[in-house]
Amino acid sequence: MALGGAFTLATGRSIPTADSYIKQLNITEPVILYNGAMIYDPVKQEPIWSATLPEHIKGLPERAMAQFPGLGVEILSGKGLYAVGWNSLVDAHLNGSYRVPHERCGVGSLADRPWIKILFVTGEAQMPALIEWLHSLNLDGVEMTHSDQILYEVLPKEAGKGRGLERLAALTKRPLSQIAAMGDYYNDLSLA
């Protein structure tokens, strides 16, 4: 708490990835992670609120990889990030300028876990076709966002950083005007 307000993170990143930023910035307020699909208490190190993808979405990564050979796919589940479709862009995303804690595995090994979000990772040339295909599926219970030039995300319908900020304000009983959030560029217009 500073200057009469609260400073927090609003990011698409996972718990293990955001943890280093949280510690560096000495954030003790709850943070918005997974693009608004989780509000996490960094002091207690536990979620205050979270949403997960519907079970019927768990078949989507394999369908997408069959439709787009070479597609990169990352699945985020609680405290874990799993690369289930590997390509050079996934390698750069997870092992690039800063190392993102992750595990390489198959989709089947994650069937019993709750999924928070799916990241599809592809080049800019293939991105429009991927987005069009995903939207043509008319998926129920999800929110989709183009979060980076190479990333397209499928999230629980309840997600969204703007909704996450509203939820955080309600949970902490603070006016939204007294919460400052640091986010990303591509998909954060709802924070303005």
User: Which residues, other chains included, contact 42 with Cβ-Cβ below 8 Å and sequence gap of 6+?
Assistant: 19, 22, 27, 28, 29, 30, 31
* Beta-bridge partner residues of 59: none
Whether 51 contacts 158, CB under 8 Å: yes
For residues 143 and 158, what is the distance between their CA atoms, to the nearest angstrom?
Answer: 8
For residues 82 and 70, what is the distance between their CA atoms, to the nearest angstrom?
Answer: 16
Q: At what angle do helices 127-136 and 60-67 cross, to 10 degrees?
A: 130
Over residues 20-45, the pLDDT tens digits come to 888 888 888 898 899 889 999 999 99
Q: What is the mean pLDDT of the chain?
A: 87
Over residues 120-165, the pLDDT tens digits come to 999 999 999 999 999 999 999 999 988 888 999 999 999 988 888 8
